Amino acid sequence: MRRKHAPQRTCIACRQVRPARELIRIVRLPSSEVELDETGKKSGRGAYLCPGRACWEAALTERLVEHALKTEIATEEKEALRQHCRSLPAASP
């Protein structure tokens, strides 16, 4: 019996390759809005981050999210991402 293929993605901050289900996706929607993609299935350009605070802080501080999504992020959208960052554990599992 064949095992189902699990898609691999790279964290934009630490560059670690992990199964997509273990990472958190941020998406730039066709309307140019940027938001969290809890399901991993929203239409648009995506970027992946580890579920640890260190990767999120690095990605937001060094503008890695903007680079990966090829867009500027509005202040309120960035604040929503920072709010999510504060809710994450200090270390990635």
13-52 tens-digit pLDDT: 999 999 999 999 999 999 999 999 989 999 999 999 999 9
**Is position 22 within any domain?**
yes
* 53 in any annotated domain: yes
Mean pLDDT, the chain, rounded, equals 93
- CA-to-CA distance for 5 and 65, rounded, in angstroms? 27
Report the alpha-carbon distance of residue 22 to residue 9 in Å, rounded: 9
- Residue 2 forms part of a structural domain: no
Instruction: Give residue 35's pLDDT.
Output: 95
What is the CATH number for 57? 3.30.1230.10
Q: Is residue 1 part of a domain?
A: no
Query: Domain containing 61: what range?
Result: 8-86
Reported confidence tier of residue 92, pLDDT bands at 50, 70, 90:
low
User: Once rounded to an integer, what is the mean pLDDT over residues 75-85?
Assistant: 95
Phi, psi of 55 (to 5 degrees): -65, -40
Q: What total of structural domains would you count in the chain?
A: 1
